[in-house]
Amino acid sequence: MENGKYESWTKLFKIYYQAFMVIDHIIPSTDSSPSTFDVTNATPNAAESWDHLNAIVLHWFHGTMSAELLGTVLVSGSTAQEAWDCLKIFFHDNRHTRAAYLTHKFYNTRLNEFPNMSAYCPELKHLSDQLSNVGPKIENDRLVLQLITGLGES
């Protein structure tokens, strides 16, 4: 997972977790029943099954993260829910700083920084997508105006 792809990553993984019926490993239940599985009061088979599913979910996390993020959430004995919450805090605590940085970069990107239009256009689109992950969506007309503004005199 790249730094600017957290929102997309969470949406994708929520679909996987629902499909494999392990959503309760990352998002506690909101009904009146207990929100987390109590391994200490479970039968040995139920506890073993829960631990097995938790390890699978953690494995899915770890297989999609950069080395930097992996170091942030890879804690011995942690549950998938703890890793999920840790990532959420990591990305949301930096949201405003990241939005300011990306906004500055988006509005100051110029064609002369790239070898050609084929490199310039995707970079603006990438910055636009990253901004949409941390704040309001950049509309296509704003994207086109910025693309034209960045062309310069030549």
pLDDT in the model for residue 111: 94
If pLDDT is split at 50, 70 and 90, which confidence band does 3 have? Answer: low
Mean pLDDT of the chain: 79
Q: How far is CA 151 from the centre of its chain?
A: 32
pLDDT in the model for residue 53: 86
- The percentage of the chain sitting over the pLDDT mark of 70, rounded to a whole number, equals 84
Q: Contacts from 95-98 at CB under 8 Å and sequence distance 24+?
A: 95/134, 95/135, 98/3, 98/4, 98/134
Domain edges within the chain: 3-93, 95-149
Regarding predicted confidence, which is higher, 114 or 52?
114
pLDDT in the model for residue 107: 93
Distance separating alpha carbons of residues 93 and 123, to the nearest angstrom: 25
Q: CA nearest 136: which of 103, 88, 93, 101?
A: 103
What average pLDDT score do residues 39-55 get?
A: 73
What average pLDDT score do residues 124-148 get?
A: 88
**Does residue 77 register a pLDDT over 70?**
no
